[in-house]
Structure 1
Amino acid sequence: MPLAQFADPWQKIPVRKTKTEIIDDSIGDDDGGPATSDEGSVKEINITNVVKEGSEKADPRQFELRKVLGQGSFGKVFLVKKLTGPDAGQLYAMKVLKKATLKVRDRVRTKMERDILVEVNHPFIVRLHYAFQTEGKLYLILDFLRGGDLFTRLSKEVMFTEQDVMFYLAELALALDHLHQLGIIYRDLKPENILLDEDGHIKLTDFGLSKESIDHENKAYSFCGTVEYMAPEVVNRRGHTHSADWWSYGVLMFEMLTGSLPFQGRDRKETMTMILKAKLGMPQSISQEAQSLLRCLFKRNPANRLGAGPDGVEEIKRHPYFGTIDWNKLFRKEIQPPFKPATGRPDDTVYFDPEFTAKTPRDSPGIPPSANAHQLFRGFSFVAISSEEEIQPVLSHGHISLRDALQFSDVYEMKEDIGVGSYSICKRCVQKSTGMEHAVKIIDKSKRDPAEEVEILLRYGQHPNIITLKDTYDDGKSVYLVTELLKGGELLDKILRQKFFSEREASAVLHTITRTVEYLHAQGVVHRDLKPSNILYVDESGNPESIRICDFGFAKQLRAENGLLMTPCYTANFVAPEDLVSKMLHVDPHRRLTAAQVLRHPWIVHKDQLPKFQLNRQDAPHLVKGAMEATYSALNRHVPPVLDPVGCSTLAQRRGMKKLTSTAL
């Protein structure tokens, strides 16, 4: 289709250090008078040549659509696989925008986002690999971050520890500082815009509301962002600088630590009034260092805000809250993230909204803009300059799609049952490519959310006496957790089978178990289902060091300062053994021995001095196991608590399980 003629195309938006450049200050959803005038003529967003000479220009035919990751009024975000070129097989996120539905301000923001992504190069900021267009659509090819966003974790009420928050905030501070050094105000900081890569490191994304060409002397005046995260100077439109990002940084910190927003009214007007005038209610459950940092960030005078001074981010890095952070190691990604997403396949989308991922990916033909509203994004195309080492193609398996090629049944051969529970079944499996034996726990997602169990295993599975998680798969209905195969059997079976079992051996076994439990408690993890059937040996040697604690289906990570569980245990067929030492079984939990105290008990400390003679034992194993089951069944006859749907939770009600949307009034 021939394009309409034009006389005065838009030139590249100049990089000006003035305080007059405003994306949009109009009230309401439409663009007001100037926008209507703009639509009456043909304009061009002109972008200078940034394509590497000799590089391949991309087009939609080079990408295979795999899944829908998100969708909005202007377009969609797809998971795609590159089909040609040196990065063939690589997975990307493809952001597709319809030109015809973009308002003037949105066209400018799209151009701004593309310009910023071309300019930045930072380990904690999402990378733009390609940008191209068709007559009706714009395409941005970005990193695919398999871990989803921080909003997903918050909405599931997996409360963060201060250590978690410290790590994410530290990486985020480096990302924001990089933008500020380039003269960019981010202006839309919120959990939805912070993604996690496959290792758990953050990536800042969505630069549609960012502002270029701002130094510390000049200000921007646009009213944009997400209201709850706006700084006071953004709300009152008196002009804002980079310091506005550090206020939003404080809001994000507050939300991650408490699960609630510091300033939120019944409507937008009340929220803005609170941001301007309300006194901050400081939660006393967080550390003094965290409270101090929040107070330094929530300064309504932006000049007094931490990070606004001449030293910039160095002021924040020097704060005692970050006293344990090695910033050089952090930048090099040498610090282990607190959470590693459980992704068994390269195209896993378990951390994305199933409302979108369940849809059939389809990029319908874009409707060309009308002649009087056409926007030609001349020079929009871009190809990132990448070294060969940066390209890590995903190997293709003939004509089989990646999703099909990496189904559990294609990688492993299922064998006999090992154990059956209320919510899961455990089977032996064999990896087809190596012949190695593993165990797979198959969890019914309709009965139990496995996210907490997977997170705990990924975080703490490196401990020598905790079962190791090898791989994960998700077919939509069930989650498959592939672990090491423990061939030595259960602890109680091992004791009953053994003809000779001494007090010294019993002490060594208890020492290993208690040491592992102490490690979990030190990390804030409570197993809540510790019983002989969940304590297994790796092999038949009987070596206490080969013991593994497994089945973390009921485990929880404690967050409360008092160390008590914040959620009720669903059920428990086995609790603290009531036939052990009376000090371990005291009815008052505050007087009951801790794991650390058990390890200091003489029976454990001096285990090598204990007698080696055989202990008395029951010759009928089935009677022993039956008696134990009856004992613990009687101890747990209480009525299990009724759990309300997740929609009844405080966070779900506050957020309505909907992501907060950005606003530009």
Structure 2
Amino acid sequence: MASQVFANRPMSSFEFELVEGDSDQHRSVVASPNQVSPWIDPTTIKLRHRIGRGSFGDVWLATHHQTTEEYEQYHEVAVKVLHPIKDYNAQDVLNMLNDLFSKCRGLKGVCWLHGVTTISGKICIVMKFYEGSIGDKMTRLKRGKLLLRDVLRYGIDLAEGIMQLHSKEILVLNLKPFNFLLDENDQAVLGDIGISCVLLGTPLPRSDMTRRLGTPNYMAPEQWLPEVRGPISFETDSWGFGCSIVEMLTGMQPWRGKSVDEIYTLVVEEQEKPYVPGGLPPAVENVIIGCFEYDFRSRPLMEDILHAFKR
């Protein structure tokens, strides 16, 4: 049964000063005294070098210096530095991030979140540093594809993590192998917590990014111009999950070599579907094929996907 969800409703504000470049230029942001703040003092974060780049910003390896009267610690962290956001949008984005943080902390299948800060006027999300992702692992393998048993194992990890977010009414909308982080036990966790939803409609460096949700190769039809083709739903994530599984199995990114406009034409106008390879367990093959139904109401929910992968 389809469930219409839009998970970027701001709940409450938190207190901090947004620094615009220099430390002597700042403005106050609305505070809320009844909630633990995820705000991190930007002077405690030292960016070291960039380790990734995505549609909505860059990812940096950094050091987080924490000190109290009792201890002093340095933690290696990953910092997602979002593209510049206009002043009049910053408060809304920060409020929505605050809501996401309060819902996501402690979820087993989601990357560990340290907090949020601003560096040189850019909003930054600070999270645990993981040594690599499923995408990284694939680049080191011959032909770039995983063994079926690993795909099934990771698929279970990811479906469980996505279900955890869905239970909090959070949509990911940017599912792809490079966003699937691997922990010290080689278990997959989600490295994206719905940033696409948070930034929907927010002016970004490229105007086309403002009008779509996610990474084109993995986007469901309703993610293109969602205010027109929506609603987006839990089943929207099923499409992205299916694309990711296909890539893990084949080593080929869906629609590889196609431009954004070409992908739009294929997915939205011509209603083409990604290729699903053979040789899969019947239940898994059927559920992945179902992920690519044009009408989101006909796609499986994540609990259906999890059941198929566990059979």
Same fold by TM-score greater than 0.5: yes
Q: Could you say what secondary structure the match of 1:293 adopts?
A: helix
* Offset of residue 269 of structure 1: 2.1
Structure 1: give runs of 5+ residues left out of the alignment. Answer: 1-11, 16-41, 213-220, 308-312, 324-665
* Offset of residue 234 of structure 1: 2.0
State the partner residue of 1:241: 233
Q: Could you say what secondary structure the match of 1:210 adopts?
A: helix
Q: Distance in 2 between matches of 1:60 and 1:43?
A: 15
Residues 131-182 of structure 1, C-alpha deviation per residue, up to 9 Å, x if partnerless? 3447845443311112x12221223344211111111111111111121111
Q: Compare the two structures and name the one with the higher helix fraction.
A: 2
Question: Quick one: structure 1 residues 60 and 222, their matched pair in 2 at CA, closer, same or farther if it must change by over 3 Å?
Answer: closer
In the TM superposition, 1:409-420 aligns within 5 A as none
State the partner residue of 1:380: none
* Offset of residue 94 of structure 1: 4.7
Q: Could you say what secondary structure the match of 2:165 adopts?
A: helix
Question: Quick one: structure 1 residues 44 and 172, their matched pair in 2 at CA, closer, same or farther if it must change by over 3 Å?
Answer: farther
Q: Which of 283, 288, 292 is the aligned partner of 2:286? A: 292
RMSD: 3.7
* Offset of residue 116 of structure 1: 0.8
Residues 616-638 of structure 1, C-alpha deviation per residue, up to 9 Å, x if partnerless? xxxxxxxxxxxxxxxxxxxxxxx
**Aligned residue type for 1:125:** V
Q: Does 1:322 align with 2:310?
A: yes
Question: Quick one: structure 1 residues 49 and 259, their matched pair in 2 at CA, closer, same or farther if it must change by over 3 Å?
Answer: farther
Q: Could you say what secondary structure the match of 1:89 adopts?
A: strand
| 8 Å contact kept, 1:81–1:91 | yes
State the partner residue of 1:118: 102
Q: Does 1:224 align with 2:213?
A: yes
* Offset of residue 209 of structure 1: 0.8
Q: Which of 45, 67, 79 is the aligned partner of 2:62? A: 79
In the TM superposition, 1:161-172 aligns within 5 A as 161-172=147-158
Question: Quick one: structure 1 residues 273 and 140, their matched pair in 2 at CA, closer, same or farther if it must change by over 3 Å?
Answer: closer
Question: Quick one: structure 1 residues 317 and 132, their matched pair in 2 at CA, closer, same or farther if it must change by over 3 Å?
Answer: closer
State the partner residue of 1:102: 85
Q: Which of 120, 123, 134 is the aligned partner of 1:150? A: 134
State the partner residue of 2:202: none
* Larger RCO, structure (CA 8 Å, separation 6 or more): 2
Q: Could you say what secondary structure the match of 2:196 adopts?
A: coil
* Offset of residue 122 of structure 1: 0.6
Residues 454-508 of structure 1, C-alpha deviation per residue, up to 9 Å, x if partnerless? xxxxxxxxxxxxxxxxxxxxxxxxxxxxxxxxxxxxxxxxxxxxxxxxxxxxxxx
Residues 89-118 of structure 1, C-alpha deviation per residue, up to 9 Å, x if partnerless? 35232526489x434698455653443123
| 8 Å contact kept, 1:154–1:259 | yes
| 8 Å contact kept, 1:69–1:79 | no
Q: Does 1:268 align with 2:256?
A: no
| 8 Å contact kept, 1:190–1:229 | yes
Question: Quick one: structure 1 residues 65 and 241, their matched pair in 2 at CA, closer, same or farther if it must change by over 3 Å?
Answer: closer
In the TM superposition, 1:200-599 aligns within 5 A as 200-206=186-192, 207-210=194-197, 223-235=212-224, 237-239=228-230, 240-264=232-256, 266-276=258-268, 277-307=271-301, 313-319=302-308, 321-323=309-311
Q: Does 1:69 align with 2:51?
A: yes
* Offset of residue 232 of structure 1: 1.7
| 8 Å contact kept, 1:74–1:102 | no
Question: Quick one: structure 1 residues 64 and 109, their matched pair in 2 at CA, closer, same or farther if it must change by over 3 Å?
Answer: closer
**Aligned residue type for 1:246:** S
Q: Distance in 2 between matches of 1:251 and 1:163?
A: 18
Q: Distance in 1 between matches of 2:273 and 2:51?
A: 39
State the partner residue of 2:167: 181
| 8 Å contact kept, 2:10–2:96 | no
Q: Does 1:198 align with 2:218?
A: no
Alignment size in residue pairs: 268
**Aligned residue type for 2:184:** E
Q: Distance in 2 between matches of 1:96 and 1:251?
A: 24
Aligned sequence identity (%):
23
* Offset of residue 68 of structure 1: 4.4
Q: Could you say what secondary structure the match of 2:145 adopts?
A: coil
Q: Could you say what secondary structure the match of 2:77 adopts?
A: strand
Q: Could you say what secondary structure the match of 1:92 adopts?
A: strand
Q: Distance in 2 between matches of 1:105 and 1:242?
A: 30
* Offset of residue 46 of structure 1: 4.0
| 8 Å contact kept, 1:125–1:204 | yes
| 8 Å contact kept, 2:44–2:65 | yes
* Offset of residue 222 of structure 1: 5.6
Structure 2: give runs of 5+ residues left out of the alignment. Answer: 1-7, 12-25, 200-209
TM-score, normalised to structure 1's length? 0.36
Q: Does 1:59 align with 2:60?
A: no
Q: Distance in 2 between matches of 1:62 and 1:267?
A: 40
State the partner residue of 1:93: 77
Question: Quick one: structure 1 residues 144 and 192, their matched pair in 2 at CA, closer, same or farther if it must change by over 3 Å?
Answer: same
Q: Distance in 1 between matches of 2:262 and 2:120?
A: 44
**Aligned residue type for 1:112:** M
Question: Quick one: structure 1 residues 141 and 292, their matched pair in 2 at CA, closer, same or farther if it must change by over 3 Å?
Answer: same
| 8 Å contact kept, 1:197–1:203 | yes
Q: Could you say what secondary structure the match of 2:197 adopts?
A: coil
Q: Compare the two structures and name the one with the higher strand fraction.
A: 2
**Aligned residue type for 2:177:** P
Residues 530-583 of structure 1, C-alpha deviation per residue, up to 9 Å, x if partnerless? xxxxxxxxxxxxxxxxxxxxxxxxxxxxxxxxxxxxxxxxxxxxxxxxxxxxxx
Max radius of gyration: which structure?
A: 1
Q: Distance in 2 between matches of 1:106 and 1:71?
A: 22
Question: Quick one: structure 1 residues 152 and 75, their matched pair in 2 at CA, closer, same or farther if it must change by over 3 Å?
Answer: closer
